[in-house]
Amino acid sequence: MMYDPELFLPLNPEDKETAETLRPSLTYWQDVTGRLMHDRLAMFGLAVIVAVIVLAVFGPVLSAYEYDAQDFMVSNEPPSLAHWFGTDMFGRDIFVRVLYGARISLSVGFLASFISLFIGVIYGGVSGFSGGRTDNIMMRVVDVIYSVPVMIYVILIMVVVGPGLKSIFITLGISYWAPMARIVRAEVMRLKNEEFILAAKVTGASPPRILFRHLIPNAMGSVLVTLTFSIPGAIFTEAFLSFVGLGVSAPMASWGVLSSDAVGSLAVYPWQLFFPAGAISITILAFNFLGDGLRDALDPKLRK
């Protein structure tokens, strides 16, 4: 077959420039960020989370009331200009106590996520990369930890160190990394036979370098989504434990403690329960919105 030059025409420089600038080249994380920013629910959730954090940090400091200051002259007052969320039976401002409780609840949530990220990622990565008997033994340990209810951990730890915030921190530190380890293990086992891992082995990369420079970074999508969903789970766990009397104790205030104190007077003073319960619901919903947005943004199938 003879080559016909007339069938092939060179591209004009102007057309070439137009074709190149039609869609600028984006990295994976730039593409993820762009899709996430176009998700209105995810951005709404992120804005709520930032607002809650800012209020928790600066709200109690700027308020005219102390979270533990009692004034029986204004006890059980409804919401007003002086007390935006009303007062409790001891005359304490509920608005300040809700903001102060956000410090404890958010600190528990972020600490549990940090533990989950640090221990779960390393443990699950080593287990999935090693495989064989090592993986089997390590996962049986995770199964044992994961199968014991959180309440059992709390009761046992309370016997040793007593009730309070320390017990919650230790409990979450013992048990909260197990789900993350399972997810990271599954991602590492899926990725370790990919071509780029085989290429790294051929070039002489050591197993730790393959794990921490290639496998774990490529599993960060699932890690970030799981991390985002673990924070509201830890917040709810702390609120539940404090609600049943196994968390922080007076005069410290967490959202669970505030809800527990208000249950007895729900029929008479409903606002005392409405505001802390609303703070729990809004914060957990915001994290779920953000987690859903991250999951959609990190899905390679949605890339344009």
Q: How far from chain centre, in Å, is Cα 147?
A: 22
Give Cβ neighbours of residue 296 (< 8 Å, ≥ 6 apart): 35, 39, 302
Going residue by residue through the chain (304 aa), what tens digit of pLDDT does each one get?
A: 555 666 666 666 655 555 455 556 666 667 777 777 888 888 999 999 999 999 888 887 777 777 777 777 878 888 888 878 888 888 888 888 888 888 888 888 888 888 888 888 899 889 888 888 888 999 998 888 888 877 787 777 777 777 777 777 777 777 778 888 888 898 888 888 888 888 888 888 888 888 888 888 888 878 888 888 888 888 888 888 777 777 776 667 788 888 888 887 777 888 888 888 888 889 989 988 888 888 877 765 554 4
Specify if 205 maps to a domain.
yes
What kind and span of H or E run contains 27? none
Cα–Cα distance measured from residue 202 to residue 189, given in angstroms and rounded to the nearest whole number: 19
146: tokens are 């994961």
Specify if 44 maps to a domain.
no
Specify if 129 maps to a domain.
yes
Question: How many structural domains compose the chain?
Answer: 1
In 3-state terms, what secondary structure has residue 29? Answer: helix
120: tokens are 């779960």
Instruction: Report the predicted TM-score, pTM, of the whole model to 2 decimal places.
Output: 0.78
Specify if 33 maps to a domain.
no
What kind and span of H or E run contains 80? none
Specify if 214 maps to a domain.
yes
Domain of 263?
A: 87-296
Cα–Cα distance measured from residue 163 to residue 245, given in angstroms and rounded to the nearest whole number: 9
